[in-house]
Structure 1
Amino acid sequence: MAKTCCDVPADTGNNHNDLQWRRVLWFALYANAAMFAVEIVAGVAADSRALQADALDFFGDSANYAISLFVAGMALSWRSRAALVKAATMLAFGLWVIGYAIYGFFAGSQPEPQTMGVIGTLALIVNIIVAILLLRFRKGDANMRSAWVCSRNDAVGNIAVLVAALGVFGTGNAWPDLLVASIMASLAIWGSIDVFSQARKELVQL
């Protein structure tokens, strides 16, 4: 994870309210909301902790993109505070998934690898498209960077879900699914620290 990307100027101009930035965010919002609905249903049907965790991540990202749109035209101080809220959301998601994975180890689960593979591939395609669209904005303020971090983490998480599907298929056990859910939680926690750090720097510089 490129931690050095946090070391950018506190403000990068008025591109935070750029029309193209808003259009990308609207697309990301709709795409993530749709994938949340698809993945939560598939995750429950397939008894996959990794898919359910990824679905909740899509839901959290939808909320984050909505926040980004709301504060896009506001002052840097408000955008930085919004980034702090999003960092807290990412942290809460990470902690919840870790707890859910631990529960799965004790309660047991029987994930269905075929469904995991199909839905995981669809989610990866969606997140790659969103990540490519957000790539040009990754060196903006903390609010912009948080949107990029979300998409980056999601794409990595989707690849991990596919690896988990292969692991479940190859071993016939649930542990690859639970392991990937834990990895996704770690990504969320790391990303929250990344965004929180830049947002704090921006607020201090004001």
Structure 2
Amino acid sequence: MGTEREDDEPEVPLDARDAGERRTLAWVLCINLAQALGVGTVGLVASSTGLMGAALDNLADAGVYAVSLYAVGRTVTAKARVARLSGVLLIALGIGLLVEVIRRFSAGADPVGIAMIVTALVNAAVNVLCLRLLRPRREEGVHLKASWIFTTNDMLANAGIVLSGVAVMLTGSAVPDLLIGLVVVGIVLHGGWEILEQAREARRAADAA
């Protein structure tokens, strides 16, 4: 009972480093919410599974950053718990995207290649900004490592969307977009599993200390 209470309370009053973490996480949270809205809207209009996947990934990132804000200044156990929640969230969204890929494959929607390319490039540029904000703090806790993994996954997904957009334009087929949707599903599920592994390691280290 007493241990749970300690896990839920800050270890110490917020210092300058904690304030810096909060400021960084608040910035990337707002950025990813804007990305999810913008990319998701284009994905719907352009009938692109890849872009819808990228939007879901950005939304998952925003969720990670939101729960990571809670973890700032708290115990290692609390941070591991937040990272575990982030991993579960990412896996759940990956499964949701898989369902969407299957639905679009059955419906036979035709994506717009140029919209995929331009949107993915813009999204990737914004992700670079997020990585620059997170880089100095990625070793300051498992919750921030989780945030770094999420944003790195976004870069891989956007690179794939650009390539599939080119393929859609050259072939006139929706197959490349559906394939990149499946690739994004794999990236998302792998990232979620990696975060869960890091959370388990952090929890074991905290228990052994």
Name the residue aligned to 2:189: 189
Name the residue aligned to 2:199: 199
1:161 Cα deviation from its structure 2 partner: 1.0
Deviates more, 1:67-76 or 1:19-28: 19-28
Q: 1:98 to 1:78 in 2, by over 3 A?
A: same
Please give the alpha-carbon distance, in whole angstroms, between the structure 1 residues aligned to 2:201 and 2:116: 40
Instruction: Output aligned runs, 1:11-90, within 5 Å.
Output: 18-90=18-90
Please give the alpha-carbon distance, in whole angstroms, between the structure 2 residues aligned to 1:156 and 1:198: 20
* SS at 1:73 equivalent: coil
Contact 1:15 1:21 in 2 (8 A): no
Q: How many residues align?
A: 193
Q: 1:160 to 1:16 in 2, by over 3 A?
A: farther
The root-mean-square deviation of aligned C-alpha atoms, in Å, is 1.7
Contact 2:51 2:120 in 1 (8 A): yes
Alpha-carbon deviations, 1:159-200, whole Å to 9, x = none?
Answer: 111111101111100011111111111111111111111111
Tell me, yes or no, if structure 1 residue 120 matches structure 2 residue 133: no
Please give the alpha-carbon distance, in whole angstroms, between the structure 2 residues aligned to 1:59 and 1:83: 16
1:16 Cα deviation from its structure 2 partner: 10
Name the residue aligned to 2:4: none
Runs of 4+ in 1 over 4 A off after TM superposition: 14-17
Structure-1-length-normalised TM-score? 0.88
5+ residue gaps, structure 2, are 1-13
Contact 1:137 1:148 in 2 (8 A): no
Name the residue aligned to 2:110: 110
Instruction: Output aligned runs, 1:165-176, within 5 Å.
Output: 165-176=165-176
Please give the alpha-carbon distance, in whole angstroms, between the structure 2 residues aligned to 1:61 and 1:15: 25
Name the residue aligned to 1:7: none
Please give the alpha-carbon distance, in whole angstroms, between the structure 1 residues aligned to 2:17 and 2:68: 10
Please give the alpha-carbon distance, in whole angstroms, between the structure 1 residues aligned to 2:137 and 2:160: 25
Contact 1:29 1:66 in 2 (8 A): yes
Alpha-carbon deviations, 1:22-76, whole Å to 9, x = none?
Answer: 2221111111011111111111110111111111111111111011111212111
Contact 1:87 1:196 in 2 (8 A): yes
Supply the AA of the counterpart residue of 1:156.
L
Please give the alpha-carbon distance, in whole angstroms, between the structure 1 residues aligned to 2:197 and 2:16: 19
1:124 Cα deviation from its structure 2 partner: 0.5
Larger-gyration structure (1/2): 2
Q: Percent identity?
A: 27
5+ residue gaps, structure 1, are 1-13
